[in-house]
Structure 1
Amino acid sequence: MRRLLLALGALAAAGAVHAQAQEFGYKDWAGACDNTRHCEIVGYQREEAELPVTLMLARDAGGSAPVQAWLMALSGDGEAANLSIRAGNVVIQGINGVLKPEQIARLLPALKKADTASVTDGKQQWELSLAGLNAALLKMDDLQGRVDTATALARPGSKPASSVPSALPAPLLRAAPVAATRASDAALLPKLLKALPANDCQDGPGADASLRHQVVRLTGRQVLLFVECVRGAYQSSYALWLANDKPPYAPQVLPLPLPGGERDDAPMEPEFNRGVLHTYGKGRGIGDCGDATEWLWTADGFQLLSATRAPMCRGMPGGGFPLRLWTARR
C-alpha cells in the first residue's frame, strides 16, 4: 500500500508540473503549451518588414492528434482572402484562414527546409519568416513528449505513437450566481474607498483625472471594487478589492491566479460581465500584442477560466492568432 501511495504521489506531482503553462520563442516564432498539453506556435514577417502576415500551427496532446494550421495576411483594405503560400517548390492555393489536412501535409515539410515563405492574394505579396520555426517545432515536440516518436514534427524516431503522453483534462469550473445590481450600490463607492487600507495606488492616476472607479455586486452581501491605479497613454491598471456591502466593509485585495502560478496584482482594463471577469493588457497602443485573461466567479471565488498571449508586436491586430496558455471547462 505504501508503495502504491508513493507511486500515485509521484504521478500527481508529475502531472502538476506538466499542467503549468510554458512559453518559448525563437527568432520570428513564438510558442506556448497550456495546462492540457495543447501546444501552439506562431510565426510572422521579419521585424523590419511592413506588411503583416502570420501562420499558426497547433496540436493537441496524444499520439493521434493532427496538426492544425491557420494563415492570415493584412493589406491596406483589411484581412486578405484567397491566399496562396509558396515554400520552395510547394505551392498551396485558395487559403481562407484554415488549411486543410492534406495542405498541411504538403506544406510543413517544405516550410522546414526554407528560410522564408511567400504569401500572395494575387495583388500583394507578403514574406513569412521561417527563422526559428524548426526550433519552435522541436520545443513543441519536447513539451508534448513526442521527440524520437513516429509523431514528432522536428525529430521523429522509432518510438510508437502510443508512447506519447495523453492530454491532461481541463479543470471543470462551476459558475456561481451573480446578484442583481441594486440602486444603492453606486452610493457604496465613496464609503468603500474611504475604508481601503494604505495601498500602492492610493493616489490614483492623478488629481486632474476623471477617476474610473466602480462597484459591481457579486452576492447579496459582497461587492467587487475596481480602483484605477495608473493611467497610461492607452490603458489603465487597476486594483480589485472584495468588500462587504455594509459596515464593516473589510475590503480585501482580490487574488487573481495566472497560468504560471503567479497572481495578477495590477489587471489592465478589467471588465465584469455575466459572472466573468475579463482583462486585456496591450503591449503597445495599436494592440498588436498583449495578454487576455478571464476568471469565472465561483463558490470558491474567481477561478482562472482562460488566458492567451500575443507575445510579438508585428503589426497584426490582437497578434493575429494569440497563443493559448490556459483553458478550463464550465
Structure 2
Amino acid sequence: MHRLVQNLGFALLAAMIAMPTSASAETFGEDRRYFKDWLAACRPTTGYCSATAYINPNPPSGIVADYVLRVGRNSGTDAWEISLSTVATMATDDSFVTIGEEPDFLFFQRTEDFVAFGAINDFFFLGNNARHLLHKMLADQTLNIELDTDQGRKELQFSLSGLTASLLWIDEQQDAVGSPRLAGYAPRDQQRAFALPNPPATVPQAIKDMHFGGDQCEFGPDHEFSDEWENMQLDQTRSLFMLPCSAGAYNYLFRFYVWDQAQQIASAQHFVDYNDSTGWTSTDMLVNPSLDRHSITISSFNKFRGLGDCGSSGTWQWAGYGLQLREYYYQPICGLDYDENADLSYPQIFPEAD
C-alpha cells in the first residue's frame, strides 16, 4: 500500500468520518487536518504531504477502503502525484481508465500513463493528461472514474469537496503558496511495481543506418564521440536511443530513435521547439540532453552563450505513442555580467500559467 495508507487503521478512518470539518490532529508523526471529504496530512520528517479521499472507508471486509484517491507532493518539488489505490479489485493487465465524458474525457492506459509504483495496486496517473486531471479535480464537485478490473468494468465516484482547501493547506505546510498545479511525473522515491525489461545492449543496425545514412550529422560512425550513445526502455517492447550528432564550444547535439523490438522497426523522433523568430516549431535534435530512466523523460539545455544566462530548456515524457512536451523554458536575452551566483533560471513559457 501507499505511504500514508499503511498507517490508516480502523480507528483513524472512523475518526475521519466523525471529525468535524477543518479539525486537526497530530498522530503517527504526522500533522493532519480534515477538510470535508478529504484528509490532508504532512510528515515533518520527510516533507511529504498528501490529500486523500475514500470510497467505502473501513468496510466490513476489514480492508482500509475499497478505493483510495490521493494527491500528494514532496517538499521542494513542483509536481503533484495523483494516485488511485484499487483495494477491493485489481486493475487488469491491459486495463484502461476513462475520466469524464466525450469529447472532454481523459484516457489513461495501463503500463503507459496509469502505472503501478511501490505496490502492485497503487496506480499513478502520468503524462500531460494527469495535469489536466488535476485541474479538472480542482474545478469539479465529483470525479467519475471508469476502469477495467478483475471483476469487470467498474465505475467509481469520489467527492471532491474539500480537495482545494486541502491543497492550499499543504501549500502552507510546504512554504509553497502560489505554486503551480503541475502533475504527471513518476513518484521520485518509488520504483515501478512491474519492472521494465532491460534495453538492448547495442545499437540496432536499423538505427545506425538512419543515423549515419545522411549528412545531417557531423559525427560519422568512426568518430570518437559516436560511442557516447545512451538508451532507456520505454515500455515492454520499445526503447529509446540517444546518439551524438555534432558539437560546438559548449553545446552537444543528439538525435533520438525509438526501436520497436517486437516489430523490428526504428523511427526517428521529433520534438517541439521554440524561438522568437518562428514561434513553436519542430526539431529532430536536442541540445545537451539527459535521460531520466525513472520518470522516462528527456531534458535538454540549449545555451545561447557559454555563460548559460540565456537559452532554452525543456522536458519531454514518453506518452505511449511519442514524446510529449511537459515543460519549456526560454530566455532569449543574454544580459548578465559574469556572476557565479547569478540566477540562471529561465521564464517558463509552457505550460502557460492557468
What TM-score comes out, normalization by structure 2 length?
0.38
Greater strand proportion: 2
Greater helix proportion: 1
Of structures 1 and 2, the one scoring higher in RCO (CA 8 A, sep 6+) is 1
What TM-score comes out, normalization by structure 1 length?
0.41
